[in-house]
């Protein structure tokens, strides 16, 4: 109320002077209108007290009439509304700050009435979705929600409104440019003093980037786990394959392991083989089905589907091979032959050696769609690499074994040939002894009986015959000694190198004379040295046998 020193200061005083200037004329007008037959009215005005206190009042002025309805005065009811006005101003200020905060944050903040319908201006929602008030009012906001999420959102929202509980949800909202963004929603009911819901306040928080980051991390983690699992599997598979050197057993083991690890209905490994005659052909192994299932079908050809595998281009993985643009273009079947196992999911990888040669291909199939994953693809790459190494090792081992067998066979043939040669030389050395003795005997008889009876040329010819027969006897004797020494029948003995050299020159006398060859001393010495080394080597060889 008005602050005064004493009540005398107020009683009987005119009220106009204490009313603030902006309100005086309006206050006077309403009061005077009552005395002129007016209905009066309501006025808000401010009063500054004697001690400077400033208060706001609301007054209601009505005419006071007698029994004849004549105006005899005015009745005024005045109340202090200062605190109420301050509260209203604080509320307006709070609402202004709230709206400013809503405009500042990136989330979409909105309010609905107690029945869950949009009834007021929603700048954030309208700015994001591009919807006008006419479009989003009531439940029109659901038109901006992704079609797959709209009805579930409305159903969950209606349940929260009916139960008067917190609304928590996630859905996709179409931005004004047509792009959908994922939002997390939280809304709470606002309750008055009597416990009635007056409105709902909610917030849409864009979690698209956060969810994408979480998904990317989850995918990276899954890839890491898959890579670790693949590495562990390959570490177990590698030694199993490397230890196998039988190509047929190896290829079957590869096929069985890969088929099991990829969960394929059936798998096969087609691989090129080279036989002992260097002729190539293709073999295959099967897993998951009987071999009879493929016996009636020809070997796979270099069609558009198979070409990337047989040419070593890389892995082919298809969720549905019948939908692949490379499928069904080759005659005569234009797809799978009649009676072929149904294949929808398809996975194939080339088996390439370290030298870059395509050894074959791994093929896997399943009747269902979308069976093989990226992890299966990486796993097959690793198994194909391990299989290539194992096949290379098995091939080298088999080639080495064939070479060893061929060498052993050659050595055996050489041993038999040497044995036959030794036998022949031994037999020949004995068989030639008798005719040579006759030649030598009769040549000596001719020389004793007819020397000097014929001319000088005849004596020379007879000497040639006698000396040649004698040398032949020595050669045959030496051959016999060699064969006996090579067979270990005689111990090695020392010989006179000069004597051996002279015998060589003597044996080659006719050839030397006919060819006109000269034997200088140095050449003779070198020849002697070579012969000496040869004989020493022969003696050493003979001693070790």
Give the total residue count for the chain.
545
Q: Is the pTM of this model over 0.95?
A: no
pLDDT at 2: 45
- What does CATH list as the number for 105-206? 3.30.450.20
Rg from Cα positions in the chain: 60
pLDDT at 57: 83
DSSP state string for 194-258: TS-EEEEEEEEEE-HHHHHHHHHHHHHHHHHHHHHHHHHHHHHHHHHHHT---HHHHHHHHHHHH
What's the burial of 233, exposed, middle or buried (CB within 10 Å: 0-12/13-18/19+)? middle
Distance between CA 495 and CA 539 in Å, rounded?
A: 10
pLDDT at 4: 47
* Per-residue pLDDT of the chain in tens (545 residues, 90 and over written 9): 444 445 555 555 677 777 888 888 888 888 778 777 777 788 888 887 666 677 888 888 888 777 777 777 777 778 888 877 887 777 666 656 655 554 444 578 889 999 999 888 888 899 899 999 999 999 999 999 999 999 999 999 999 999 999 999 999 999 999 999 999 999 999 998 888 999 999 999 999 999 999 998 988 887 777 777 767 766 776 676 666 677 778 888 888 888 888 888 888 888 776 655 555 446 778 887 776 666 555 566 667 888 888 888 889 999 998 888 887 767 666 667 666 677 889 999 998 888 888 888 898 989 899 889 888 888 888 888 888 888 888 778 877 888 888 888 888 888 888 777 777 777 776 777 778 778 878 888 887 888 777 788 888 888 888 888 888 877 777 777 777 676 665 666 677 777 777 777 777 777 777 777 776 553 544 555 555 455 555 444 444 44
Q: Domain 232-402: which topology?
A: Beta-Lactamase (3.30.450)
Domain boundaries, the chain: 7-86, 105-206, 232-402, 413-544
One fold for 105-206 and 232-402: yes
Give the residue ranges of DSSP H helices in 41-80: none
| Options 3.30.450.20, 3.30.540.10, 3.40.50.620, 3.40.190.10; CATH of 7-86 | 3.30.450.20
The structure tokens listed for 238 are: 């590698």
């Amino acid at each position: 109320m008005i602050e005064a020193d004493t009540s005398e200061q107020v009683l009987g005083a005119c009220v106009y002077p204490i009313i603030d200037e902006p309100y005086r004329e309006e206050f006077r007008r309403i009061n005077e209108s009552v005395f002129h037959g007016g209905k009066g009215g309501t006025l808000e005005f401010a009063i500054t007290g004697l001690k400077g206190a400033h208060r706001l009042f609301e007054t209601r002025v009505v005419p006071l009439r007698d029994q004849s309805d004549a105006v005899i005065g005015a009745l005024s009811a005045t109340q202090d509304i200062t605190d109420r006005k301050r509260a209203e101003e604080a509320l307006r200020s709070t609402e202004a700050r709230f709206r400013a905060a809503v405009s500042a944050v990136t989330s979409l903040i909105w309010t609905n009435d107690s029945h869950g319908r949009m009834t007021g201006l929603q700048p954030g929602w309208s700015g994001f979705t591009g919807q006008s008030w006419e479009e989003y009012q009531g439940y029109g906001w659901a038109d901006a929600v992704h079609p797959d999420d709209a009805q579930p959102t409305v159903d969950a929202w209606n349940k929260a409104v009916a139960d008067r509980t917190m609304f928590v949800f996630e859905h996709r909202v179409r931005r004004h440019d047509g792009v959908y963004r994922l939002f997390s929603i939280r809304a709470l009911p606002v309750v008055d003093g009597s416990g009635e819901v007056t409105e709902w306040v909610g917030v849409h928080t864009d979690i698209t980037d956060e969810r994408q980051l979480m998904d990317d991390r989850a995918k990276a983690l899954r890839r890491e786990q898959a890579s670790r699992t693949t590495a562990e599997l390959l570490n177990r598979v590698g030694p199993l394959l490397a230890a196998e050197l039988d190509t047929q057993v190896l290829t079957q083991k590869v096929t069985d392991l890969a088929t099991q690890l990829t969960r394929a209905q059936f798998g096969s490994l087609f691989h090129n083989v080279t036989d002992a005659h260097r002729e190539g052909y293709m073999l295959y192994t099967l897993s998951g089905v009987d071999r009879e299932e493929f016996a009636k079908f020809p070997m796979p050809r270099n069609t558009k589907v198979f070409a990337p595998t047989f040419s070593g281009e890389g892995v082919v993985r298809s969720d549905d091979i019948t939908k692949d643009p490379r499928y069904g273009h080759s005659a005569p079947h234009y797809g799978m032959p009649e009676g072929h196992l149904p294949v929808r999911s398809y996975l194939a990888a080339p088996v390439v050696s370290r030298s870059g040669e395509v050894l074959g291909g791994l093929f896997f199939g399943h009747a269902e769609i979308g069976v093989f994953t990226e992890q299966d693809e990486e796993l097959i790459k690793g198994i194909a690499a391990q299989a290539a190494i194992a096949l290379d090792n098995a091939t080298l081992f088999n080639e080495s074994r064939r070479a060893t067998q061929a060498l052993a066979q050659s050595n055996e043939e050489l041993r038999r040939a040497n044995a036959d040669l030794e036998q022949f030389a031994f037999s020949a050395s004995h068989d030639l002894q008798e005719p040579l003795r006759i030649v030598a005997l009769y040549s000596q008889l001719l020389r004793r009986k007819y020397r000097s009876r014929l001319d000088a040329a005849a004596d020379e010819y007879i000497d040639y015959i006698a000396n040649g027969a004698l040398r032949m006897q020595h050669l045959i004797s030496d051959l016999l000694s060699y064969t006996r020494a090579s067979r270990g029948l005689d111990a090695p003995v020392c010989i006179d190198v000069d004597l051996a050299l002279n015998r060589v020159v003597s044996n080659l006398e006719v050839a030397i004379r006919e060819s006109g060859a000269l034997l200088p001393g140095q050449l003779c010495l070198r020849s002697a040295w070579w012969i000496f080394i040869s004989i020493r080597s022969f003696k050493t060889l003979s001693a070790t046998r």
